[in-house]
Structure 1
Amino acid sequence: MNLKFSIIVVSFICFSINSVISQAAKDLPEDTLSSKIDSIIGIPDAYGYALDHLLHLWALQRMDTTECNSGEPPAPVPDSLYKYRLSQIPCLIELPYNNIVRSFIELYTVRKRTQTEYMLGISNYYFPVFEQALDANKLPLELKFLPIIESALHPTAISRAGAAGLWQFMIPTGRMYGLEINTLVDERLDPRKASYAAARFLKDLYAIYGDWNLVIAAYNCGPGNVNKAIRRAGGKTDYWAIYPYLPLETRGYVPIYIAATYTFHYAEEHNLCPAVVNIPALIDTFMINQRIHLEQISSVLNIPIEELRWLNPQYKKDIIPGDLKPYVLTLPVNYSSIFMERLHEIASYKADELINNRRNEIEAFRSTSSSNLGASKNVTYHKVKKGETLSGIAAKYGVSVSNLKKWNNIKGSKITIGQRLKIIK
């Protein structure tokens, strides 16, 4: 990953790969699987960095609460109770239980309790967004647990392959589902827009497979790999039948999803308490029609820049390019009135340093790039004759008047007889 941020699924994959290569998960002997998984569970360095990154997010703070008794995990849970609890979760997606699922449940509820409590806390902010998008597309609401596996609910997570955001869209797939992705704006990082795009993608996958476990697998590795696994399994379309033929990184994906679903339904039974989330409960949105830097808003309204970035993660350079088209700004609702009252002051604050200067830098870069490009082309010189004009000379050589003036540092339109003009073609 570009930010060295290892998404949870990566670490889980390390735990499951060597244990399950040759057979479907339902048939693995318990003692063999458990011993192998336990011997592999050493956490990789990249995952340690991911854990540290998650625990130090601005939006999260660890605080005691009297509403939940966090502590040590309870006594070991028997398989029969795990099976019963999974059967009591109201959902459309099949949630089978096996030894692999158990190992991942224990990773959430025993080995990585602190991380799980942080995800429980931040889910209170993101799950309503996910559910709204899923419900609008008539999809099972339990698909809201997918971003736990994809990104650990980290809004700006970026994988080594370049997938980004809560739902981990690659650039081509994101654009296919209507997300704007450029230097300034990356809507893969926009929780709401990415959630609606993910819902449409999941809906399309279900139209192909008609099986939610296959849909979940295809979301991770792509329809092509799932189709290949189905062919290798003799045309069988059951997830556990094609399990040995899926890419290694996908084999643990559905078991992890089942484990996450279980953990978020039965957190209290495992003495897991949601972390306190430092995110505004009420927000307001504004359409911005001018270029504004988040630092301008932060300084004038005295809002922490980290809070603005958390609420507006899609603006990669902290710039809202509202001069190009209207863009949405999200603010805590208690800043709504003062933002409107002081908008002119905000737009003027350090404008030359934060906005105008950056535009000048961009223009300078374009000019330099153009000059460098021109240097590799043919350069000729024209000696101005009586009666010639810039437009006539430009037409003669098939160049624009603006370029002709730029190449020769001409401010107005006046040229003199005998003057040598540089022409780049």
Structure 2
Amino acid sequence: MRFSLKNISARNTKILAAITVISILSAWMKYSTSTPQKLVIHKRVAEKQSKKLVKFTFAGEILPFDSPLILKRYRRAIAQNRNYNIGNLDMIKAAKRWFPLIEPILRQNKIPDDFKYVATAESKFMLSFSNKGAGGFWQMMPITARGLGLEVNEEVDERFHPIKSTEVVCKLLRQTYNMFGDWTSVALAYNMGSNAFMRLKKKHGASSVHFIRSNHETERYFFLVMASKDLIENAARYGYRVRKSGKVSEVKVVEVRETISDLSKFAKTHHISLATLRSFNPWLRTQSLTIKPQSQNQKYLLILPVVVSSEIEELDEEYEVEPSTKNILAKDSSFSP
């Protein structure tokens, strides 16, 4: 009887061992056959995303999105933009206000229209200053702004004047283009300085400026410009939309050649509040506007609204943008923002 039980026990052990081996082999075969399919799917998605972006240009220059490195840098910039959804909403609204003033100036100076997105990447049209003291829509240092003919003092800061700051920046961009001969280099040089970028370009000698290794800020900068372009041009895809009844705020430009001692009274004569006047003229710092005989500015340009309307609204109360697997925001294991 004992011998018989031992035989049964040994037989059961063998059966269990066989079942275990079969289970392991089955699981391995299932993994080995499904994993390549998943890899193929990921590859096809990546190829599809790259094809969608292959004609994505900056100033008429096609970006090398066929490079995994460039695609990854761009996706990181998009992800970074998604972390500032309320700020993005304000940027989209501000772009609707300021672009109609900036675009004609770019055209008049034969600067590609895409350079308006340099301003959005630089400042998001926020009325703030960098840690180094750069300010304005184009983020200029005070000494640079004064050297270009802008007035920066306790009463006015024309770095925040959308018309005058854009006019002087256009001159600077044209000079930089004459140095490098391509607009992508101009955008990068604007961020890090023409001389510094020239040294970097000579050092690396890369076939494309997109592959030049530089500091983290400059490498990221150009893709933030492109991410801003994509966000503003395709706002609905990222969770924002333009109201069908919304209109861009119409404005008029008024030349001021005499001192205005009280801007509040001036605003009332034009049937607007002082707050509205400041909103359209963020370069004003005080309650007055003085024409100084010794100043190179013998006139100022005040921007006044004709019709003020709301253009943009969020799709939900928290301004969240839901990720989509159908576009470049699709997450995968190879991407970590």
The separation in 1 between residues aligned to 2:254 and 2:130, in whole angstroms, is: 29
**Other-structure match for 1:238:** 208
**Other-structure match for 2:35:** none
In structure 1, give the amino acid aligned to 2:118: L
In the TM superposition, what is the alpha-carbon distance from 1:307 to its structure 2 partner? 1.1
In the TM superposition, what is the alpha-carbon distance from 1:319 to its structure 2 partner? 1.8
In structure 1, give the amino acid aligned to 2:75: R
TM-score, reference length from structure 2: 0.66
**Other-structure match for 1:119:** 91
Q: What do residues 271-329 of structure 1 show as CA deviations (whole Å, max 9, x unaligned)?
A: 32259999842334142412323233346766332211122222222321036433333
Query: Does residue 172 of structure 1 match 2:140?
Result: no
In structure 2, give the amino acid aligned to 1:96: P
Query: What secondary structure, in the 3-state scheme, does the structure 2 residue paired with 1:282 have?
Result: strand
In structure 2, give the amino acid aligned to 1:138: K
In structure 1, give the amino acid aligned to 2:290: P
Query: What secondary structure, in the 3-state scheme, does the structure 1 residue paired with 2:256 have?
Result: strand
- C-alpha contact (below 8 Å) 2:111/2:170 kept by paired residues: yes
Q: What do residues 175-204 of structure 1 show as CA deviations (whole Å, max 9, x unaligned)?
A: 232222233222111100111111111111
In the TM superposition, what is the alpha-carbon distance from 1:138 to its structure 2 partner? 0.9
The separation in 2 between residues aligned to 1:318 and 1:277, in whole angstroms, is: 32
The separation in 2 between residues aligned to 1:301 and 1:139, in whole angstroms, is: 34
**Other-structure match for 1:129:** 101
Which one is further off, 99-108 or 200-209?
Answer: 99-108
**Other-structure match for 1:322:** 291
Tell me how large the CA RMSD over aligned residues is.
Answer: 2.9
Q: What do residues 182-232 of structure 1 show as CA deviations (whole Å, max 9, x unaligned)?
A: 332221111001111111111111111112222111101101221221233
After superposition, the Cα gap between the structure-2 partners of 1:197 and 1:93, relative to the gap in structure 1 and judged at 3 Å, is farther
Query: Would you say how many aligned residue pairs link Structure 1 and Structure 2?
Result: 254
- C-alpha contact (below 8 Å) 1:288/1:328 kept by paired residues: no
After superposition, the Cα gap between the structure-2 partners of 1:211 and 1:293, relative to the gap in structure 1 and judged at 3 Å, is same
TM-score, reference length from structure 1: 0.54
In structure 2, give the amino acid aligned to 1:289: E
- C-alpha contact (below 8 Å) 2:189/2:197 kept by paired residues: yes
Alignment of 1:279-358 (within 5 A): 280-298=249-267, 303-322=272-291, 324=293, 325-333=298-306
Query: What secondary structure, in the 3-state scheme, does the structure 2 residue paired with 1:273 have?
Result: strand
Q: What do residues 64-113 of structure 1 show as CA deviations (whole Å, max 9, x unaligned)?
A: xxxxxxxxxxxxx94345433433446413333311101222333x4433
After superposition, the Cα gap between the structure-2 partners of 1:313 and 1:266, relative to the gap in structure 1 and judged at 3 Å, is closer
After superposition, the Cα gap between the structure-2 partners of 1:145 and 1:100, relative to the gap in structure 1 and judged at 3 Å, is same
**Other-structure match for 2:154:** 183
In structure 2, give the amino acid aligned to 1:173: T
Q: What do residues 313-357 of structure 1 show as CA deviations (whole Å, max 9, x unaligned)?
A: 2222232103643333333348xxxxxxxxxxxxxxxxxxxxxxx
Query: Does residue 102 of structure 1 match 2:71?
Result: no
The separation in 2 between residues aligned to 1:255 and 1:172, in whole angstroms, is: 28
Identity of aligned residues (%): 25
In structure 1, give the amino acid aligned to 2:108: A
In the TM superposition, what is the alpha-carbon distance from 1:268 to its structure 2 partner? 2.2
- C-alpha contact (below 8 Å) 1:290/1:322 kept by paired residues: yes
Q: 1:195 aligns with which of 166, 186, 204?
A: 166
The separation in 2 between residues aligned to 1:229 and 1:247, in whole angstroms, is: 10
The separation in 2 between residues aligned to 1:116 and 1:180, in whole angstroms, is: 29
Query: What secondary structure, in the 3-state scheme, does the structure 1 residue paired with 2:250 have?
Result: coil
**Other-structure match for 2:61:** 93
- C-alpha contact (below 8 Å) 1:120/1:264 kept by paired residues: yes
In structure 2, give the amino acid aligned to 1:268: A
- C-alpha contact (below 8 Å) 1:282/1:332 kept by paired residues: yes
After superposition, the Cα gap between the structure-2 partners of 1:314 and 1:221, relative to the gap in structure 1 and judged at 3 Å, is same
Q: What do residues 126-155 of structure 1 show as CA deviations (whole Å, max 9, x unaligned)?
A: 11222111111112111111111100112x
The separation in 2 between residues aligned to 1:115 and 1:124, in whole angstroms, is: 14
In the TM superposition, what is the alpha-carbon distance from 1:262 to its structure 2 partner? 2.2
